[in-house]
Structure formats: structure tokens, C-alpha cells
A and B are shown apart, each in its own frame.
Chain A
Amino acid sequence: MSLQMIVNALVNAALIAPPAMAFSLLFGILRFPNFAIGGYITVGAFAAFTLNVPLGLPLPLAAAGAMAVTALVVWGAHVLVFRPMEGQSAITLLVVSIAVTLILENVIRLFYSADVRGFDIPLQRPWKVFGAHITPEQVEIIGWSLAIGVMLHLLLAHTRIGRAMRAVADNPMLAAIRGVNAGRVTAFTTAICGALFGLTGVFAGLDLVIEPLVGWNLTIPIFAAAILGGIGSPYGAILGALLVGLAEEATILVLPSTYKIAVGFVIIAVLLLVRPQGLFGTAEIKK
């Protein structure tokens, strides 16, 4: 494996680690695998595009705006779609979440068409490090991904709301008995995760392209990373993201790169057969 492949794997991992953590956090609180994340990421990418290109805001501001918009969309989807369906089986909610992705994706296609777009940023020459190419945007993605990991850790381990998030994920009934308002914790969690999906949309727009399927194409690797790390375990999701990133790159050594997308599926299938609780998790994905 060349240095270039390791660089590519790291970029991949940095791109899918934050949404994989968010996916895990959402699963912990809401107890179903939410495949609407594809739609959420696409919303983030297009929100940032709209603010950046037609409205002319600088990209960092556009990214912040996209995070806010996506947080609102994820919270809104929870209130309008998932909360009214509380008590339904996880498999029902999973199917509904796929529908949410399709709806979001097609609403975007309606307004923006299926054209491929990009942000309005100066084209930068990739840097060369020991023969491997890496663009400044990729370095930024890696840096932000690390920073997000640290911030999420601080949030979960050292703040009151973070402790409540873990308590509700762990034992919702006991959390209620001790006075935690699960509704507020859920609202906060959806907003935080929404912001992370929005940011992922921005990163995907930087590293890949902006098109209505951008989120959907990331869904399987994100899901694979989340269950590889142990669903409901946000720290495991980071390692899961690294492993998925490496596995995707390693595939290119032996198979044409079009098969890269299959790696996520293979990881998911093997895990569900062999170790449904993931590498670190305790919760199992159940039918």
C-alpha cells in the first residue's frame, strides 16, 4: 500500500467519521438506524452551495449556515415524521427514513436539477508530501474531523447535556425517573447531529462534487463505519471510519475502483453475520 493510498484512506475516513458518530448518537437515542442521513447530507451540501455561489457568502460562513439549515431539517424531520411514529418497530422506521431521504433528494432535484456543481473557491494546487498528493481542502477536512472528534468527546464526557445524552441512550426509563426530560435531550441530539450532517455535506462538496446523490453515496460507508465501531458507540465510529477508509482503498489494489462502493456492503454483511454488536458496541442491530 503506497503512501498515496494511506492519504486517500485518511481523507475518506475524515469525511465519514463525523457523520458516523452522529449516526451512532442518533441510534443511541432513537433506537433505529436512520437512513435519512443521505438526504440530510445532500441538504447540507446544497444549502452551503446556495449560500456560497448564488448568494456569494464566503465558504466558512456558508458552511456555518448549512450546518444551521441541516440541524433545522433533521430536527424538523424528527418532529414531523419520526416522533409521531414513536413505538413503531425499528425496521418500519428504517424504511420510513429511506423515504425521507428520497423525498429530500427529489425536492432538491426539483429546484436544482441533477447537475453537478462545485463551490466558488479558488482552485488550489495539491501539495506533494513524500510523493503523495493531498489538496489543502483535504487537509482542512482531516483537521476539522479531528477537531469534531475532540469536541464531541468533550460534549459527551464533560457537559451536563452530554451526560444526559449518554444516560438517555443507556437507560431512558431511569433517566426519566431521575428527572431528565428526554424530549429536550432528543431535540438537542437531532440538532447536533444535523449540524454534523450539514458539515459533511460541505466536506463532500469540497472533496467530491455537489449533486443530489452525494449523500446517498456516502450512506453505506457511514453505516458500515458506525456498525463496525459498534452501533451506539460514537468513539467506535471513529475507528470504524478509519477501517472503512482503509478497506475501500485496499480494494483498489485488487479490483477496479468501481467496486469501491461495494466495500461498505461487504463489511455490513460480514458484521451482521459474525459480530452484530460491532467491534466495541453492546447494542445489536435487530431485525
Chain B
Amino acid sequence: MPETVLAAESLTSGYGKAVICQDVSLALAEGEITCVIGPNGAGKSTLLKTIAGVVRPMSGSVRIAGREIAGLPAPRIARSGMAYVPQEANVFRQLTTHENLTMGAWTDPGRAEAACARVYGMFPDLKPLRRVRAGNLSGGQRQMVAFGMAMMLEPRVLLLDEPSAGLSPLMVRHMFDIVRRVNADGVAILMVEQNAIEGLRVAHRGIVMAAGRVALEGTAGALLDSSEVSELYLGTRA
């Protein structure tokens, strides 16, 4: 049995008094990709934000490799070996590509130089763009910068919020290739995807969220075959 690197238990969170995620539990095993799917407004992004500490949990627990992080501020969670890539505004637009990557090693600046070299190896397309401001990059390039920034300190767990959003079909395939490659290096990934079919194809396991709760979970293959999933997707039960 592989070790559980990220575990959430009865996690409830939201904004103000509005509860968005309700009593969500999940476990991410070492080296695994879990894809969270579900209709718009199901609370998928809020779930990731809560785990990353951007949204404060109202109750419940989040543990990384056994260590409790629920309720810690985001800058502390950034030191826990988990890296989060938000869906929007996931680069510093006024900073250059290179400066963005360097920000990914903020908590351990001594490793920045070697890490940059490694990330440029991962995304050779970024190397000629190192002095270009992230705000002037294309959507796909920005997504690579965001991803590269998160990979700087070789996290054990990666949280990806809709890595394919807004990308061209070619770029989407490229992005999922990268997700697979990073995962092959041993990084566990919890990924939210609007593009359910593509997302589940990359993943080992899947979680279907509806109305803030886990509606269904199982292996990615089983979910892809499940009629219930397509039903939820069409919104008939959500």
C-alpha cells in the first residue's frame, strides 16, 4: 500500500457564511493522480483553495505526510512540500518569466538557480522567454510559467486547478503530457478539471463533486465507464 501524502477529512469551507465545500474527505496516495470533476459551482476550486490555505476551512482536517496544515496561513503551507497552481492569475504579470520562476523558490532561495535550470529543462520553450514579462506571454506560455513556478522546489504534492482552461487543443495535450511526466517522477497530483474526459484519462482515480459534496469516487477507468458520471455531467442530478 503506498503511503498517503495528502489527506483531507470532513473538510468544510466557504466564503463568509456561505458554505461551498461540505464534509469533503479524500486521500491522495504517493505517486497518484486524482482528478476532481463535477459541474460548475460544485466547489472543486474552493476545495483546492482550502487545502492550499487560500480559503480558511470552517472545520475538518488536512494533513500532508501526516502533518496537520488545516487553518495555517498560505505562506506557511507553502513550506509543507505542497505546491498549488491557481486557475486564474497564476503568474506575476509584471515580473519576467525568470523572476516568476525564482518566486517559486521563495522559501528556499539557495536552491533557486539549480531549480531554474531544471525547470528550463522541463519547459525548453520558456528559456528564450526568460526576460519577457509574464503579462506579455501567450496563455499556454503563462500556464507553463505557472506550472514551472510550482515545480521549482520539487513538491511531493501538486494541486492543479484546471490546467487545461483556456488552452488550445494542442496545448491541452501538451499540458497533460507534462502532468503525466511530472507524475512519473513521483509527484502526487490532485487536479481539478472541467475537461472531465481528458482529466480522467490522465488520472488514476477520480472524484465527482456535486453541490459541495463528494458524489462519487473510484478509479478513473471506472468513472469513465460509469453512466452515473455522464448523468451528473449533464447536470440532471446536480
Chain A residues with CB under 8 Å of chain B are: 160, 163-164, 166-167, 169-171, 173-182, 282
Specify which chain A residues have a CB less than 8 angstroms from the CB of B149 in the assembled complex.
178
B75's contact among A160, A167, A170, A179, by CB below 8 Å, is which? Answer: A179
Q: Are B93 and A171 in contact (CB under 8 A)?
A: yes
Question: B94 at interface (Cβ–Cβ under 8 A)?
Answer: yes
Specify which chain A residues have a CB less than 8 angstroms from the CB of B99 in the assembled complex.
163, 166
Q: Are A174 and B92 in contact (CB under 8 A)?
A: yes
Interface residue SS majority, chain B? loop
How far is it, in angstroms, between the C-alpha of A223 and the C-alpha of B140 when the chains are bound? 38
Do A170 and B92 form a contact, CB below 8 Å, given A177-B54, A177-B78? yes
Q: Are B74 and A176 in contact (CB under 8 A)?
A: yes
Question: B84 at interface (Cβ–Cβ under 8 A)?
Answer: yes
Question: B164 at interface (Cβ–Cβ under 8 A)?
Answer: no
* Of B94, B95, B99, most A-chain CB atoms within 10 Å: B94
Specify which chain A residues have a CB less than 8 angstroms from the CB of B219 in the assembled complex.
none
User: Apart from A173-B86, A174-B90, what 18 extra A-B contacts exist at CB < 8 Å?
Assistant: A163-B95, A163-B103, A167-B92, A167-B95, A167-B103, A170-B92, A174-B92, A176-B74, A176-B78, A178-B78, A178-B103, A178-B104, A178-B106, A178-B107, A179-B78, A179-B107, A180-B106, A181-B75
Q: Are A175 and B73 in contact (CB under 8 A)?
A: no
For B74, the closest partner residue in chain A by CB is A176
Name 25 A/B residue pairs within 8 A (Cβ), A-sorted.
A160-B109, A163-B95, A163-B102, A164-B106, A166-B92, A166-B95, A170-B92, A170-B93, A170-B94, A171-B89, A173-B54, A173-B89, A174-B86, A174-B91, A174-B92, A176-B78, A177-B78, A177-B86, A178-B106, A178-B107, A179-B75, A179-B78, A179-B79, A181-B75, A282-B135
Q: Separation in Å of the B46 CB from the closest CB of chain A? A: 14
